[in-house]
Amino acid sequence: MLLTERKAVPREAGWLYEIKFDGYRVLASTGPAGRLKSRGGIDASRWFPEVVAALADMPTGTVLDGEVCVLDEMGRSDFDRLHARACRKGWYEGADLVVYCVFDVLVAKGKDLRATALEKRKATLGRLMRAHSDRMLHVTGTEDGPWLYETALRIELEGVVGKRLGSTYRDGRRSADWFKVKRPGAVPPERFRR
């Protein structure tokens, strides 16, 4: 499911807000044969073996959605360090450790949850992550979007993501049910000229 972009956080109720991480969006399948798949369909498993090792400890038949990130000493995602790591397409001596920041579960133990409301998927993800979260970051949320956005500005995060409560997961499509509000200047324009 893809985000639309907004200029401001809405003031009305009915939204869940999360930190916007600056990483590589990947779907992850769990279990001993766990894999990572990029938004473009590339198998990124070999690039991030520490994430694949964490997925191996989870129940087979689960599909997670999240961002692979390199976090700095304050816990902020650092895209340049992640990109440098990913360009090498595998682990190497001195590589930055990556973290899988998981914000949704699409399939749990073989049961498709995409038609389930966001808050029910989040509850399922919470139970799953409590049992298996030692090497992944469980991304929770708050209903106070203005507070989270002000915090993102203050500590220089990329921005925030808003998700409509009650919304379902629609694969590969932009939806007004999920949006992002970026911090001004968070993503330099030259980033995508590489």
DSSP H/E element including 136: strand 136-138
Q: Among candidates 20, 49, 5, which has minimal Cα distance to 156?
A: 20
Cβ proximity of 166 and 103 under 8 Å: no
109 is catalytic: no
Cβ neighbours, 10 Å, residue 18: 21
Q: 20, 109, 180, 182: which one is catalytic?
A: 20
Q: Find all residues with CB under 8 Å of 76, minimum gap 6, and list them.
A: 155, 156, 157
* Residues forming the active site: 20
